[in-house]
Structure formats: structure tokens, C-alpha cells
Structure 1
């Protein structure tokens, strides 16, 4: 049965699915998913989806029991962009603001829970006082 499933998804020309399609683990090595590109320090660089991998799955309620992974050509990919020092500084300030308690004005060392609005120590004190 495995060979029939693989044959159902074998369409390198794209005539059946409208885009080049391969079964699970049978795509050419120059085609990668977004996560695979990211692991190699690359990004698609403006290119569209070049191909897809299809496989049958009962997980996640996939429509028709078929899942897809979209593939991009490594040869057209570009290096990932790096953040500028100003962007990194802005991120550091934003994260520091998310960690600073508005009541006691100290860095809690973790992102404050939004439902409390304060650090856990201040929330405990407010609960005891109430």
C-alpha cells in the first residue's frame, strides 16, 4: 500500500497538482522547507513556492487526510538578514519594559504576567492585603 500512496503524490511536472509534487522524503535535495532554509541561515529571498511534498496523515484533522509542506529552491535563497544595532537596542528596551514591575520598579527577571500586571511578589502582597 505504501507504494500506491507514493505513486499518488508523484508529480514532478506539476500536471496533476498544478505545482511540482513529491511524496514524503523524495524531493530533490535543492528544495527545502522554510525551517530547513532557516537552519542553513537562509531565507526564500522573494521567491514563491517552487514545489510541495504531500503525505497522508490522520493528525491535526488535515483536510482529506493529506498534509503539505511547501518547498523553496536553495539556489535562489538569500542569507538571513541580521538586525542592526539600533534594532537590537530597541528590542532590549522593549523586553526590559516587559520585565519591570510598575509597583516596585524592579526588574523581575521574567516577563510579567499580563493578567496580574505586576510581579508575582507584588501580586502576593496585594492578595494578602485584600
Structure 2
């Protein structure tokens, strides 16, 4: 075991307070938030079970791990929530001036679609 790995190897949590492993050194059964998300799971309110420490730019970096068997399935949006999201995204693409639904989100800095904001450039 290299010195860097040995510095971050604390499986019983005596040095860092919780079980600590080196980069790519965590045993099976632990996963980070992104890994849980890919698997269709979420932490579900469980506390951090372990951590991974590694040396990165600017100092030591940390990634918190959760127990996979305690993770819950991801929540899905209800049909009403999906309708609300669709309506909000459509509102972001609708020009206030001409009322046309554009294929892009209207820039907040302009407050209107590009065609309404720069009408002379379209004629050229």
C-alpha cells in the first residue's frame, strides 16, 4: 500500500470519525450520490456512512458515501408536476412582444425574442 493510500485508509473511523477509504478503494455496498442516481436510487435521509479522501488541486478532496441497501427509489414527478414543468418551459420560450413560441429560451437580458429585439438585422 502506498503512503498516500495509507494516509486515507481508516476503515473503522478512528482517525476521521467515519470510515474513510482512498480513491477507488471503497468496498462494495457503498455508493456516492451520483452513483445512486444512476442506479435509480436516492439516499432517502440516511446519514453519511463513509467517505473517500484523495489529494486534489487545492488540498484534500472528499466524496461522501451512502449504504446502497438503505437507499430508496427515486421519486418520480406526478402528472400535475409534469404539466407545470411543461407550462413553465413553454413560458420561457414564448416572446412577450410577438407571442411566438420560439425553439430556444428567450434571453432574460432582452425580455423578448431575438427577432423582436433586433428587427433591422432580419431585414438585411
TM-score over 0.5 for the pair: yes
* Cα distance in 1, alignment partners of residues 118 and 28 from structure 2: 55
1:55 aligns with 2:54: yes
* Cross-structure match for 2:32: 33
Q: Aligned-pair distance for 1:50?
A: 0.6
Alignment of 1:1-130 (within 5 A): 3-58=2-57, 61=58, 65-125=59-119
Q: Name structure 2 gaps, 5 residues minimum.
A: none
* Cα distance in 1, alignment partners of residues 48 and 100 from structure 2: 47
Q: Aligned pairs, how many?
A: 122
- Normalising by structure 2, what TM-score? 0.94
Q: CA RMSD in A?
A: 1.5
- Normalising by structure 1, what TM-score? 0.90
TM-superposition CA deviations, 1:20-40 (whole Å, max 9, x none): 100000101210000000000
Q: Which has the higher helix share?
A: 1
Q: Aligned-pair distance for 1:109?
A: 1.1
Residues 16/126 of structure 1: CA separation in 2 closer, same or farther (3 Å cut)? farther
Q: Aligned-pair distance for 1:110?
A: 1.1
Which ranges of 4 or more aligned residues in structure 1 deviate by more than 6 Å? none
